[in-house]
Amino acid sequence: MKQYWPNKNIFFDRQGFIIIYASPVDRSTGIIGDFAMTIYLGINKNIQKHLKNCYETTRAIFESAKLGMRLCQLNTLTHKILESKSLINNIISSSDLTGTNTGHTIPFSYESRTIQEQAVFKKNDCKEIALLISKKRKFVNAVDQTKIQKNMAFTIEPRLYSANFSQLPAVLFHTIALFHENGKKELLTDFEDIFKLTGMDYMLES
């Protein structure tokens, strides 16, 4: 809605954290963007290290994803990676029957819309479209047997806490993994320019 668009009179206080999130919907295809990231403008080295660890963990999860792998298998691998990084996922999902997950498919990225689904989009009712997209998702959880396939896109979005230091903040780097028709995979983030803009250059260091 237009009232939630960027406003010239609203600024981010240059102290502390902000988690920014956006999930635009392409009107012609119904494909969602679904991105989020954590920004920290402070100088606490422990917090910076924590953010970097969380971002590297997100990338490690992406690297572990393979064509033909079931979403539940990716979920198992994800939790092994989190354990190795001393991190905990703390997402509660009301739309996932298992109650928690580490991501979900992007509807219509790998499957065409049915006649009934096309009719919903033609009605141009935002609430109906949102409900359709929500119910169409398959979740990266403990039970979903859906296989990763060509042209599929899915989110990688664990909300991460330190397993050892409770005073460190929750961190979210909500990205999209895309498997192209040729089988090549790509992690969609576009975070680099924002890291540079906000002085988070440490996130770019290998």
What predicted TM-score, i.e. pTM, was given to this entire model? 0.90
State the DSSP code for 70: B
3 state DSSP class of 55: helix
Contact 178, 186 (CB under 8 A): yes
**Tell me, what's the pLDDT at 7?**
83
Domains and CATH numbers, the chain: 18-204 (3.90.230.10)
Q: What was the pLDDT predicted at 203? A: 95
Contact, 65 vs 74, CB < 8 A? yes
What token pair was written down for 177? Answer: 């993994």
Q: What is the pLDDT of residues 69-101, one digit of tens each?
A: 999 999 999 999 999 999 999 888 888 889 899
CA distance 155 to 142: 16
